Amino acid sequence: MAFIRRDWDPVHADEWTKEDWIAIVLSPLAYIFLSIGTGLSILLLPIGFITFSIGIVLTILMHYVIDPKLKMISSEYEKRQREYLEELERKVRWEKKNG
Amino acid sequence: MVTFEFLDWLWIVLFVLVMVGSGILFYRLGKRSESDFFLAGRGLPWWLPASSVYATHTATDTPMWVTGVIYRYGFAGIWYTFFSAWCAISAFVSTRIFRRSLAYTQAEWNTLRFGGLGAEMLRGWISGWQVFMNMFILGWVGMAMGKVCNYIFGWDLWVGLILFSSVCAIYVLAAGYWGVIMADFQQGIIAFAVIIIVSGWGIAAAGGPGEIVSKLGDMGLSEKLNPFAFSGWFTGDFPIAWFITMMFIAILGGFGMGTSIDWYAEAQRIQSAKTVRDASYSIWWGTALVLIRNSVWAIAVLAFFVLFPNISNASEYELGWFRLGFDYLPAGMVGFFFAAIIAIHISTISTHLNLGAMYFTHDLYLHYFKPKATEKELVWVGRVATFVLLIGSFFYGLMMEEITSWLIFALWLMAAGIWLPNILQVVWWRFNAWGYLSSWIANLGLSWLVVWILPHFGIIPSLPDYQQFWLLMLLGALIYLPVTFFTKPEDMNHLVKYYVMSRPIGWWKPVRKEAERLGLLHELEKISLKGV
């Protein structure tokens, strides 16, 4: 099995897995590199272009890791959300919310 | 004063007509239901709320503030603008959890996460505070527009404040969030384009990128190009300890809800996205644009610094980016620049008008006063609330000069000591409504003590803001943790319901076990698998 899972089923996509943690680490790093890289690239400094490129690579990597999982969560959860709520309501006798 | 030609006025009139017209076009969609008036029916693709995140966080006072820190600290001042990086983690954690809860507002989420009297008290407090905060922000941002109009046209401050907020209110009253989001989309594009044009023009006026680098070198100020030019570990006005605190607050804040004042506006965008994935990307990309924009601004401000290096008056150099536009753009383009300033301004105004009205309508009117209100009635209550917020913001704006320091303190008061509780409520099952409520109350008293009273009597020294943050966090924990442990946990059935709906991250093992024991997770898995 590959280190990065890209083929998800609805049950496992609902869990917090290493793919989430990889995105959680990559995401702020991408922001930091994109922020610094943009400014220094406008000044035409070589370090700016390098930093900006790293920011883009991190952004692509982050999407590569997390996108399949987000797609699965969305397609299943959003489709079934009302059904989930009705089922849960019946099982634990939740109070009706206003509105 | 800036002189406008016919072409300049033409840009402005055309832009205002297009903007108000496009908002009103969505009148029919906005009036269909409460969900449409406040969340655009929860059906938006990611790029629409993303453009709204970007447009909303590009306010009239933002370039002044960014200019102030960059002019003072050089490119390293960019870290002052990095507070929005909480979205880096939030996009994949709290955004996902909040979107799955289906709560309209953060106040409603409190009653899903917590139960009983404590949850109701929290909902009342958060919603009332949000109505106040949105009115305050409207006054604050409106007054910034008053100052810009005073600089450009010599108008009295109240003219710019009232005129443009009122123009904006036309489409917010008509179409609600549909009008906000559609106008934000076009305003975001115009604002981004003009920020690039004006900044590019300013950089060219300073002789281009190479000239800026070499002139800073000639002045002996090359460190202004260094993003990590700090004044020491703990010494000076820009220490590394401040930077570490800032990154800690900004980045780890994404695990919580409400760790940034911007969360409340983003929460509306999260719930208006059509799926969890759309919500995540709207927050991530909207904020990425904000951070990239800040960097573009930063270099334009360095260009301004090279052109005018010896301004010591903060209120003068804070207008630096505006000066690049009005002083250096050719005739005919100045009006386009002002039209973009209008876009920047009203995208923020529209958001806070609709957001404040949502808290009033959904959390106060519907929840506490009239639970059986019809959809039509709720839309009308939303409109009345919008109008009241607009009028209230005028009074706030006009009082602003006298109360600014108090209100900044109030904002600080609301942030430091509840940063960690805002995370704990998401990641720790045992944290209960009383613990969270006590953290708000404790922070109210502790922040007065730490910021003003104890230093005044010489009991502790006057601390820099980053040290105040750590102290308030520690002192607050000494109160809300005992309160949490000495009061009962939330009802397990309530927690199970929340857990299965939202699937939160963190320490939820007892709740998960109970959900499994009840067969809820198993049942849900079967439901999910039926759909494959």
Cα–Cα distance list, A3 to A22, A73, B81, B369 (Å): 11, 20, 36, 54
**Per-residue pLDDT, B417:** 84
Q: Is the CB of B92 less than 8 angstroms away from the CB of A98?
A: no
A-facing residues of B in 6-65 (CB < 8 A) are: 34
Average pLDDT, chain A: 83
Q: Is B295 on the interface with A (CB under 8 A)?
A: yes
R_g (Cα) of chain B, nearest Å: 24
B interface test, pick of A22, A33, A74 with most B CB neighbours within 10 Å: A74
The answer to whether B350 and B178 are in contact (CB under 8 A) is no
Average pLDDT of span B230-251: 90
Q: Is A17 on the interface with B (CB under 8 A)?
A: no
Phi, psi of B507 (to 5 degrees): -95, 90
The answer to whether B408 and B486 are in contact (CB under 8 A) is no
**Per-residue pLDDT, B63:** 87
Residue B102: pLDDT band by 50, 70, 90 thresholds?
confident
Nearest CA in chain B to A55: B288
- For residue B321, give the amino acid letter: W
Query: What letters, b where the CB count within 10 A reaches 16 and e where it falls short, cover B420-452?
Result: bbbbbbbbbbebbbbbbbbbbebbeebbebbbe
Q: Is A1 on the interface with B (CB under 8 A)?
A: no
**Per-residue pLDDT, B11:** 84
Q: Is the CB of A43 less than 8 angstroms away from the CB of B213?
A: yes
Average pLDDT of span B456-477: 90
Structure tokens at B481: 């943790």
Q: Is the CB of B295 less than 8 angstroms away from the CB of A36?
A: yes
A-facing residues of B in 451-480 (CB < 8 A) are: none
Q: What is the pLDDT of residues B116-140, one digit of tens each?
A: 999 999 999 999 999 998 998 899 8
Residues of chain A predicted below pLDDT 50: 85, 87-99
Facing residue for A43 by CB, picked from B88, B212, B518: B212
Structure tokens at A49: 């272009």
**Per-residue pLDDT, A38:** 97
A14 burial level (CB within 10 Å; 0-12, 13-18, 19+)? buried
Query: Which CATH superfamily is B6-412 part of?
Result: Sodium/glucose cotransporter (1.20.1730.10)
CA angle A13, A19, A24 (to 5 degrees): 115
Residue B87: pLDDT band by 50, 70, 90 thresholds?
very high
Q: Is A95 on the interface with B (CB under 8 A)?
A: no
Contacts of B336 (CB under 8 A, 6+ apart): B8, B11, B194
Q: Is the pLDDT of residue B531 over 50?
A: no
**Per-residue pLDDT, B485:** 97
B362: which chain A residues are within 8 Å (Cβ-Cβ)?
99
Phi, psi of B70 (to 5 degrees): -75, -40
Instruction: Work out the angle between the directed axes of helices B157-205 and B47-56 (0-180°, nearest 10).
Output: 100
Q: What is the pLDDT of residues B258-268, one digit of tens each?
A: 988 889 999 99
**Per-residue pLDDT, B151:** 83
A43: which chain B residues are within 8 Å (Cβ-Cβ)?
209, 212-213, 225, 299, 302
A99: which chain B residues are within 8 Å (Cβ-Cβ)?
34, 104, 362, 366-367, 371
Residue boundaries of the structural domains of chain B: 6-412
Q: Is the pLDDT of residue B519 over 80?
A: yes
Residue B406: pLDDT band by 50, 70, 90 thresholds?
low
Q: Is the pLDDT of residue B530 over 50?
A: no
Residue B356 C-alpha, separation from nearest chain A C-alpha, in angstroms: 18
Q: What is the pLDDT of residues A64-81, one digit of tens each?
A: 999 999 999 888 776 666
Nearest by Cα to B45 from B386, B274, B352: B274
Facing residue for A88 by CB, picked from B203, B366, B520: B520
Cα B383 to Cα B65: distance, rounded to the nearest angstrom? 32
Residue B88 C-alpha, separation from nearest chain A C-alpha, in angstroms: 5
Average pLDDT of span B434-457: 90
Q: What is the pLDDT of residues B194-217, one digit of tens each?
A: 999 999 999 999 999 999 999 999
**Per-residue pLDDT, B196:** 93
Cα B321 to Cα B521: distance, rounded to the nearest angstrom? 55
A27: which chain B residues are within 8 Å (Cβ-Cβ)?
88-89, 91-92, 284
The answer to whether B255 and B72 are in contact (CB under 8 A) is no
Residue A76 C-alpha, separation from nearest chain B C-alpha, in angstroms: 7
Average pLDDT of span B15-32: 83
Average pLDDT of span B159-175: 92
Average pLDDT of span B392-421: 74
Structure tokens at A10: 């609805």
Facing residue for B518 by CB, picked from A92, A97, A98: A92
Residue B527: pLDDT band by 50, 70, 90 thresholds?
very low
Structure tokens at A45: 């400094």
Instruction: Work out the angle between the directed axes of helices B433-448 and B465-486 (0-180°, nearest 10).
Output: 140
User: In terms of pLDDT, which residue wins out, B23 or B18?
Assistant: B18
Q: Is the CB of B88 less than 8 angstroms away from the CB of A76?
A: no
Q: Is B522 on the interface with A (CB under 8 A)?
A: no
**Per-residue pLDDT, B464:** 87
**Per-residue pLDDT, A93:** 34
Residue A39 C-alpha, separation from nearest chain B C-alpha, in angstroms: 5
Average pLDDT of span B313-339: 85
Average pLDDT of span B326-331: 84
- For residue B350, give the amino acid letter: S
User: In terms of pLDDT, which residue wins out, B429 or B409?
Assistant: B429
A85: which chain B residues are within 8 Å (Cβ-Cβ)?
102, 501
Helix (H, G, I), strand (E, B) or coil at B273: strand
Facing residue for A92 by CB, picked from B371, B493, B525: B493
**ipTM value for the complex:** 0.91
Q: Is the CB of B288 less than 8 angstroms away from the CB of A91?
A: no
Average pLDDT of span B249-276: 92
Facing residue for B294 by CB, picked from A35, A42, A92: A35
Q: Using the structure block, give the residue that is written with the tokens 């602003």.
A: B400
Average pLDDT, chain B: 89
| B236: number of Cβ within 10 Å | 11
pTM of structure: 0.91
Q: Is the CB of B531 less than 8 angstroms away from the CB of A85?
A: no
